[in-house]
């Protein structure tokens, strides 16, 4: 599903060159639930961003469903992200000015889905995460756990094959974290491929496979 | 999609009321100035009461006589006789009127002096123009042939001279410069900015002190040539020039020997600008060039300012841009989002500006600064204003949109 070959990511400033990822080779298979662990600053999020086509590697190739994306232009990359990938972030990244349902609709805006079906899909996704009674609320009116559930609804509304979650339980207490993990597991059971960055061993244990990074290098 | 953009734009506006106030204040003030300016230009040059046939009229305002070396010259209005011979005789026109520009006189109501502006006209004046007669009727050729001591007055003069009365003043006597005239008609006045038709009192040209019998080419009369249709203007101009070309040169006027004679019949705008800019060629281009420059400056400087405000406001939204990109928004779509948002804000400012303009126009119209001022927001002014809003929105929206849409997603999400 996702193949990374000899991935290297270097951040350059005028005086410093930082090697964030070094020679990463990774295959994520369809239907897998993979967790990535490692200390802060080891390159976990960078790796996830590269998998999700949010960032480009300095070296190496990224293949999604067998397609090399290096030569893709902005429009094609945007289309791939829109169709195949859903993102969940640690800090939720909801748009505070939009209601819950409007936030969830965002991926569908870029598929030219009409207003009514768009809203119906968004409500369906919210129902799946148990938030169908909060559609008109605004993010500021929700708890952390509820915000993350909205973010999950937004990630799954377009029925993507891949869900990339960057520390989805990082800002939540353990009970809420467990709830979110349950949702992710049920999505995986329904067929979604999930890659999750986490600091929490107990969460990682609930996934199929664990990848450990240290200083940008894959150690497990 | 559009409603999502507008919803966001509205929320962003509400997020920082002070910034919003500054932004909208800047936009609406700029657009108000532009709209009032456009309205004033339309008032000056457009086809309005009572010159509702201005678009098919040619104005003959002055004659220029120069010596052979073109070192000395003599210019000004023409004599009634000259215009009768060279303008009234035109064949391609529908009608020609000869009248004076504005003359000053005094009238007395008891011991109170009323300063007034008068105009001597022929009977065709009332056909070439489109005055509303509130009472009575205009004078005709018969009145002129009879040298009747009659006048047409404006409603404003009626109020000053006869007081606030609803009674008709037709047939009543007015005394101007110690001469008595009978009022034959009362018209709604023409604004002072339309000097070919503006006056308080209109006399037939045969009234005393009109100097209509003055010999020679120069005098105090001007003419309006009314073409049958707009497309005939060139033909009328050509015929008029052919008449002028018949005048033998060199000639002598009041002791001034001239070898060159210029009398132009021009549409109103050219005539106005020609007078202002001393007949320079290409005046229309220069005028519109200067006007476009002023408008661009008026719009450009606040637009640059707005670009800065927008860039700093959009920076706050880096995370939103990151999310939208992550979920599949291409650069072009995001650019359009920001442009549409900006156009929405500009139109909001435009709406406020429209209200402010209506207030300013109402104030100008009712202030009496320009008598009978009839500044309006007509279709032309409104369409130009809409265009101005659009240009302003694009000017101030494109740069921030470009910067934002090119933002790296991972970086944007970190902010």
* Span B312-336, pLDDT tens digits: 777 778 888 899 999 998 888 888 8
Which member of B319, B326, B332 has the closest CB to residue A54?
A: B326
User: How far separated are the first and last CA of chain A, in Å rounded?
Assistant: 20
Average pLDDT over residues A28-48: 92
Residues from chain B contacting residue A119 (CB–CB below 8 Å): none
pLDDT of residue B341: 80
Task: Give residue B406's pLDDT band: very low, low, confident or very high (50, 70, 90).
Answer: confident
Q: Show me where the domains of chain A are located.
A: 31-56+73-218
pLDDT at B24: 84
What is the percent of chain B with per-residue pLDDT over 90, rounded to a whole number?
A: 43
Query: Does A89 touch chain B if contact means CB atoms closer than 8 Å?
Result: yes
Give strand pairing partners of B382.
none
**Count of residues making up chain B:** 415
Structure confidence by residue, pLDDT tens digits, B375-389: 887 777 777 777 877
**For residue B371, what are its two tokens?**
């008598």
pLDDT at B285: 75
- pLDDT of B155 > 80? The answer is yes
For B329, which of A54, A87, A110 is closest by C-beta distance?
A: A110
pLDDT at residue B16 above 80? no
Q: Residue B280 has what pLDDT?
A: 58
Q: Is the CB of residue B368 less than 8 Å away from at least one CB of chain A?
A: no
ipTM: 0.92
CA B189 to chain centre: 17
Chain A contact for B415 (CB, 8 A cutoff): no
pLDDT for B57-98, tens place per residue? 999 999 999 988 888 888 899 999 999 999 999 999 999 999
Is the Cβ of B408 closer than 8 Å to some Cβ of chain A? yes
Q: Where are the alpha helices (DSSP H) in B146-282?
A: 155-162, 233-245, 268-276
The mean pLDDT of chain B is: 87
Pairing of strands B112-121, B201-204: parallel
- pLDDT, residue B197, reads 96
d(CA B277, CA B283): 7
B333 with A110: Cβ contact below 8 A:
yes
The answer on pLDDT for B172 being more than 70 is yes
A175: closest CA of chain B, how far (Å):
26
CA distances from A43 to A48, B227, B413 (A): 9, 82, 16
Q: What is the DSSP letter of B231?
A: G
B409 part of contact set with chain A, CB < 8 Å:
yes
Beta bridge mates, B181: B174
Q: Any chain B CB within 8 A of the CB of A38?
A: no
Provide the percentage of residues in chain B whose pLDDT is more than 70. Answer: 96
Nearest CA to CA, how far is A87 from chain B (Å)? Answer: 7
Domain-by-domain residue ranges, chain B?
Answer: 2-47+285-414, 68-258
**A44 part of contact set with chain B, CB < 8 Å:** no
At residue B278 the predicted structure's pLDDT band, cuts being 50, 70 and 90, is low
- Show which of residues 162-181 on chain A sit within 8 Å of chain B, judged by CB atoms: none
pLDDT in tens, A111-141: 878 888 999 999 999 998 888 898 999 999 9
* B241 has a chain A CB within 8 A of its CB: no
3-state secondary structure of B331: helix
Flag if B410 and A105 touch (Cβ within 8 Å): no
Report chain B residues whose CB lies below 8 A from the CB of A97: 7-8, 11-12, 15
The CA–CA distances, whole Å, from B141 to A10, A38, B85, B90, B365 equal 96, 105, 17, 19, 35
pLDDT score of B50: 95
Query: Considering CB atoms only, which of B322, B328, B408 is closest to A110?
Result: B328
CB contact under 8 A, A49 and B410: yes
Q: Is the pLDDT of residue B249 over 80?
A: yes
Chain A residues near residue B328 by CB distance under 8 angstroms: 78-79, 81-83, 107, 110-111
- CB contact, 8 Å: B160 with chain A? no
Q: The CATH number of A31-56+73-218 is which of 3.20.20.30, 3.40.1450.10, 3.40.50.300, 1.10.10.10?
A: 3.40.50.300
Contact A98 B323 (CB under 8 A): no
Q: Which helix (H) or strand (E) is B186 found in, with range?
A: strand B179-187
Answer whether residue A192 shows pLDDT above 60: yes
Of the given ranges (A35-49, A64-78, B365-379), which has the lowest mean pLDDT? B365-379
Task: Label residue A100 by pLDDT band (50, 70, 90).
Answer: very high
Measured distance CA(B37)–CA(A90) in Å, rounded: 54
């Amino acid at each position: 599903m996702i193949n990374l070959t000899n991935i290297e990511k270097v951040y350059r400033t005028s005086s410093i060159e930082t090697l964030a990822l070094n020679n990463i080779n990774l295959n994520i298979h369809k239907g897998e639930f993979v967790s990535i662990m490692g200390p802060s600053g080891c390159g976990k999020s960078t790796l996830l961003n590269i998998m999700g086509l949010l960032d480009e590697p300095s070296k190496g190739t990224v293949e999604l469903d067998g397609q090399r994306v290096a030569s893709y232009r902005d429009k094609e990359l945007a289309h791939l992200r829109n169709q195949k990938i859903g993102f969940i972030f640690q800090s939720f990244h909801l748009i505070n000015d939009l209601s819950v349902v409007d936030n969830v609709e965002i991926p569908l805006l870029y598929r030219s889905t009409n207003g009514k079906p768009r809203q119906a899909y968004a409500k369906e996704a919210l129902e799946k995460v148990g938030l169908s009674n909060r559609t008109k609320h605004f993010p500021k009116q929700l708890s952390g756990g509820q915000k993350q559930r909205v973010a999950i609804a937004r990630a799954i509304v377009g029925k993507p094959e891949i869900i990339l979650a960057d520390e989805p339980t990082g800002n939540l207490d353990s009970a809420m974290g467990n709830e979110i993990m349950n949702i992710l597991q049920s999505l995986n059971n329904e067929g979604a491929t999930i890659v999750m960055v986490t600091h929490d061993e107990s969460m990682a244990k609930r996934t199929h496979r664990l990848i450990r990074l240290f200083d940008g290098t894959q150690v497990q | 999609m559009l409603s999502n953009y507008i919803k966001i734009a509205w929320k962003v506006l509400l997020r920082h009321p002070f910034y919003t106030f500054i932004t909208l204040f800047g936009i609406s003030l700029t657009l108000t100035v532009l709209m009032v300016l456009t309205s004033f230009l339309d008032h000056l040059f457009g086809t309005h009461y009572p010159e509702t046939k201005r678009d098919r009229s040619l104005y003959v305002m002055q004659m220029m006589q120069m010596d052979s070396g073109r070192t000395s010259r003599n210019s000004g209005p023409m004599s009634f006789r000259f215009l009768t011979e060279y303008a009234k005789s035109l064949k391609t026109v529908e009608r020609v009127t000869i009248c004076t520009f504005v003359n000053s006189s005094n009238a007395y109501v008891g011991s109170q002096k009323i300063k007034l502006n008068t105009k001597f006209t022929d009977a065709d004046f009332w056909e070439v123009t489109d005055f509303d007669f509130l009472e009575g009727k205009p004078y005709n050729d018969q009145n002129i042939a009879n040298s009747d001591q009659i006048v047409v007055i404006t409603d404003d003069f009626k109020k000053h001279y006869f007081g606030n009365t609803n009674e008709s003043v037709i047939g009543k006597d007015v005394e101007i410069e110690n001469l008595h005239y009978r009022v034959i008609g009362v018209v709604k006045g023409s604004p002072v900015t339309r000097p070919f038709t503006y006056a308080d009192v209109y006399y037939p040209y045969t009234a005393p002190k009109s100097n209509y019998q003055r010999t020679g080419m120069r005098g105090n009369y001007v003419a309006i040539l009314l073409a049958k249709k707009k497309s005939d203007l060139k033909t009328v101009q050509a015929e008029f020039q052919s008449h002028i070309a018949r005048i033998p040169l060199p000639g002598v006027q009041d002791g001034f020997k001239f070898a060159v004679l210029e009398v132009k019949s021009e549409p109103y705008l050219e005539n106005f600008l020609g007078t202002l800019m001393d007949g320079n060629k290409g005046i229309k281009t220069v005028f519109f060039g200067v006007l476009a420059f002023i408008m661009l400056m008026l719009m450009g400087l606040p637009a640059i300012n707005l670009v800065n405000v927008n860039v700093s406001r959009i920076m706050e939204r880096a995370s939103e841009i990151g999310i939208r990109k992550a979920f599949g928004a291409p650069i072009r779509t995001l650019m359009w989002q920001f442009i549409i948002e900006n156009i929405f804000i500009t139109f909001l400012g435009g709406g406020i500006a429209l209200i402010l303009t209506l207030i300013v126009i109402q104030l100008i119209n009712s202030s009496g600064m320009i008598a009978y001022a009839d500044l309006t927001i007509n279709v032309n002014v409104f369409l130009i204003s809409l265009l101005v809003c659009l240009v302003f929105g694009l000017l101030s929206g494109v740069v921030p949109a470009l910067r934002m849409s090119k933002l790296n997603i991972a970086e944007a999400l970190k902010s």
